[in-house]
Amino acid sequence: MKYFLLPLIIIFALASSANAGYREAFEKEFLYKSWGGEELEVNACIECHSSNIMKPEFQDIPNQWKMSWHYQNSVMCHDCHGGDYKDATMSMSHQRGFVGTPKPADTPQFCGKCHIGILRNYLESGHGKSLQSTGKGPNCVTCHGSHNIQKASIEIINEGRCTKCHSYERAQIMKQALFATENKMKEIESQLANLKAKGMYVGAENRELFSTQAEFHALFHTIDADLVKQRTDEFMRRLNAIDAKIKESLDEIHFRKNFSTFLMLLFIGLGVVVGLLSKTYKD
Ligand code: HEC
Ligand code: HEC
Ligand code: HEC
Ligand code: HEC
Ligand code: HEC
């Protein structure tokens, strides 16, 4: 029995040490390589900022960011604030591109390095001009927040937010001007989702809707209700064209349904005929 157990123990010991070596090699080789995905890489900003050494009023920032639309689109801390997320000791050094927290007047440029079209409209608007001249206009963060930023909609225009500096009347005129086009876009979005669920390919229509939406949402930042009204016809024309394509796809689905019912009835009919024939043949 003894002679039997000893080699078994040796085999086990060898196997588990080989296993440990293999795991170490695997981690070195693969887990920290970029193809393993951004999540597997060490991110010094997130680690240190979530840790207990962070002052309490900053500690929740990584959690807020994880609930944002930016997080879903892989916009990381350093994409906004600069710095080096790979090197904890130097990550907040200006030499590594760290720009820190923007002042309110610098926020439009801070966000606008990615949202270029919106920045352009904003800078030409009453809001942008008064931020630059008197510091009194709202900046991007006033309306969108900073870390928990969500997909935008006209719901952002509400009494709580828009009456801090002037009457709600002005804001409401703007909301009314946006309303019809915004509703049409929502309607088309749900119809496209519906078609996709039915197995239709709607890639081209989705892309057209996305670019129309982006252009229209950027238009808000001019805060020029007359301009919005003036361009509403053009946006409606583009949306109606997508609508027409949706109708075509729906017709096609109906045709397919009717045709398969027709085929089914045809086969049942044939079955009955064959059945009758074989009966008369037997008789
Ligand atoms: C979409 C851009 C964006 C991203 C991504 C982002 N931040 Fe910020 N952050 C800002 C802005 C803008 C401010 C200024 C806040 C303000 O004006 O209210 C700020 C402020 C801060 C502050 C200072 C807060 C204060 O009260 O003074 C800290 C700390 C911070 N961010 C850390 C982080 C960390 C850590 C991450 C990643 C988990 C991150 N940020 C991701 C835009 C961003
Ligand atoms: C080793 C810890 C550590 C790392 C790594 C780290 N931070 Fe910080 N960060 C801090 C501390 C501590 C503070 C608070 C300083 C204070 O007391 O005001 C801070 C403050 C900040 C602020 C607000 C103050 C300012 O200067 O604007 C921002 C923004 C910020 N960090 C972003 C980042 C980003 C982006 C990264 C990664 C590129 C990062 N941090 C990496 C510890 C860290
Ligand atoms: C590093 C580039 C980058 C920076 C800087 C940046 N964003 Fe974004 N933002 C993106 C990307 C990418 C998306 C996701 C794609 C999209 O929805 O357009 C996005 C989406 C958004 C959306 C939702 C868009 C929608 O579809 O409804 C808002 C609102 C937004 N960002 C506001 C801001 C604000 C405010 C700031 C500054 C505090 C900022 N962004 C800074 C890249 C950036
Ligand atoms: C931080 C202050 C502030 C906030 C918050 C604010 N505004 Fe304004 N708004 C201004 C200033 C300043 C002006 C331009 C100066 C003026 O005409 O009084 C302005 C002007 C306007 C105008 C008139 C533009 C024109 O050309 O006649 C509209 C429309 C408007 N704002 C809509 C909104 C909406 C919608 C919101 C909420 C989403 C909002 N504002 C929130 C400060 C603000
Ligand atoms: C006065 C409030 C206000 C300010 C200031 C503001 N926004 Fe917006 N933003 C909105 C509203 C409202 C919408 C949605 C418009 C709509 O639904 O037609 C929006 C939409 C967006 C979108 C979505 C675009 C898309 O593709 O769907 C982005 C991105 C964005 N804003 C970024 C910014 C940036 C960057 C700044 C600063 C330069 C900024 N916003 C300043 C209120 C504001």
Residue ranges covered by each domain of the chain:
33-99, 107-139, 171-257
**64 CA from centroid of ligand 1 (Å):** 10
Atom 17 of ligand 2, residue of closest alpha carbon = 55
Q: CB of 144 closer than 6 A to ligand 4?
A: no
Contact 192, 206 (CB under 8 A): yes
CA of 82 to the centre of ligand 2 (A): 11
Structure token pair of residue 94 = 């200006």
Here the tokens at position 271 are: 């079955």
- Kindly report, residue by residue over 209-254, the tens digit of the pLDDT: 999 999 999 999 999 999 999 999 999 999 999 999 999 988 988 8
pLDDT of residue 71: 97
CB 62 near ligand 1, within 6 Å: yes
Q: What is the dihedral of CA 69, 70, 72, 77, to 10 degrees?
A: -140
Model confidence at 3, in pLDDT bands (50, 70, 90)? low
Q: pLDDT, tens digit, for every residue of 148-194?
A: 999 999 999 999 999 999 999 999 999 999 999 999 999 999 999 99
Q: With cut-offs at 50, 70 and 90, classify the pLDDT of residue 275.
A: confident
Expressed in angstroms and rounded, the spacing between residue 221 Cα and the centre of ligand 5 is 6
The answer to whether residue 40 scores a pLDDT higher than 60 is no
Is 117 near ligand 5, meaning CB less than 6 Å away?
Answer: no
**Whole-model pTM?**
0.86
Residue 243 in contact with residue 235, Cβ under 8 Å?
A: no
Pick the residue whose CA is nearest to atom 9 on ligand 2.
49
137 CA distance to ligand 4 middle (Å): 7
Reported for 183-191, long-range contacts at CB under 8 A and 24+ positions apart, including other chains, are 184/236, 184/239, 185/209, 185/212, 185/213, 185/216, 185/239, 188/239, 188/242, 188/243, 188/246, 191/243, 191/246
pLDDT band with cut points at 50, 70 and 90 for residue 41: confident
CB atoms within 10 A of CB 111: 20
Ligand 2 atom nearest 54 alpha carbon: 12
Question: Which residues line the pocket of ligand 3, CB cutoff 6 A?
Answer: 69-70, 73, 75, 79-80, 110-111, 113-115, 140-141, 144, 146, 149, 151-152
Section 17-45 average pLDDT: 52
* Ligand 2, CB within 6 Å, residue ranges: 44-45, 48-49, 54-55, 77-78, 81, 83-85, 88, 91-92, 100-101
Lowest-pLDDT range, 35-39, 60-64, 128-132, 245-249? Answer: 35-39
Atom of ligand 3 nearest to the CA of 146: 38
Q: Tens of pLDDT along 95-118?
A: 999 999 999 999 999 999 999 999
Confidence of residue 281 (pLDDT cuts 50, 70, 90): confident
Nearest atom, ligand 1, residue 145 CA: 18
Atom 15, ligand 1: which residue's CA is nearest? 146
Mean pLDDT of the chain: 87
In this structure, what are the phi and psi dihedrals at residue 264, rounded to the nearest 5 degrees? Answer: -60, -45
Q: What confidence score (pLDDT) does residue 264 get? A: 92
What percent of the chain clears pLDDT 70, i.e. is strictly above it?
A: 86
- pLDDT of 283 reads 67
Residue 131 in tokens: 């931020």
